[in-house]
Amino acid sequence: MNQQMKKIAPSILAADFTRLGEQMKAMEAAGADYHHLDMMDAHFVPNLTFGPLAAAAAKRVASIPLDVHLMLDDPLTYGPQCARLGADIVTFHYEATPHVHSVLTRIREAGAKSGLSLTPSTPVEVLGPTLNYVDLVLIMSVNPGFGGQDFIPESIDKVARLRKFLDENSGRRILVEVDGGVTDKNAAALFAAGADILVSGSYLYGAADYAAAIAALKGGV
């Protein structure tokens, strides 16, 4: 089984959209591993962000992979579409659709890694029936919808339970990603609990020195 990764995915939700391409390039130069793109539909979550048009523009400027996080009610349409436009990972919410297996399969068929996200109140055991179709599980450590919220401390134990559940129930190495309120105060504990990728929006894009902030999240790795 492959080793744990320790990767950082800055969320462009916290970037200055008047200078988005420039800021994404600065994040890449500072050591970012993915660009995290939060698509929201004002229905699954009470916020509205951007869609595939903006993701395609991000793809044109990016030199590192795109990690698309769909917080919307129709992942069957938008999941494969984001994969086709070149996203490396496309993640949607377990709570958003009764057709989890279909969406996971179609995202893979369209060429991306398939990601499934759980909100804070959804237990990890729901993943059981779909494990053969999942490449990544995203644990939300805030209620999805907005950047800048406080980290829910119970998320650290949930990540540890998830890592154990995946190791016991899947022969493949399924990646674990954590999103929401990630800062230098909780990153080390999340990696220690088994996270492979940490998403961070306001902490990273709000930092005066992107490279120092990414290094602080990676803990000198």
Q: Which residues are catalytic?
A: 38, 179
The contacts of residue 170 (CB under 8 Å, 6+ apart) are 131, 132
34 binds, among Zn ion, ligand DX5, none (CB under 5 to 8 A by kind): none
Among 7, 35, 36, 113, binds ligand DX5 (CB under 6 A): 36
Per-residue binding letters, 60-79, with ligand DX5 (x by CB under 6 A) = ---------x----------
Pull the structure tokens for residue 117. 């996200």
CA distance 185 to 41: 31
Contact (CB, 8 A) for 51 and 87: no
Give 69 or 108: the residue with its C-beta nearer to Zn ion: 69
**Hey, which residues between 79 and 118 contact ligand DX5 (CB under 6 A)?**
none
Instruction: Tell me if 69 contacts Zn ion by CB under 5 A.
Output: yes
CB atoms within 10 A of CB 31: 17
CA distance 11 to 4: 21
Instruction: Tell me if 179 contacts Zn ion by CB under 5 A.
Output: yes
Among 11, 23, 97, 119, binds ligand DX5 (CB under 6 A): 11
Q: Is the dihedral of CA 164, 181, 206, 71 positive or negative?
A: positive
115 binds, among ligand DX5, Zn ion, none (CB under 5 to 8 A by kind): none
**Which one of 128-136, 138-146, 167-175, 190-198 is the stretch in contact with ligand DX5 (CB under 6 A)?**
138-146
Instruction: Tell me if 35 contacts ligand DX5 by CB under 6 A.
Output: no
Unique residue bearing structure tokens 């869609």: 51
β-bridge mates for residue 176, sequence order: 137
Give 115 or 181: the residue with its C-beta nearer to ligand DX5: 181
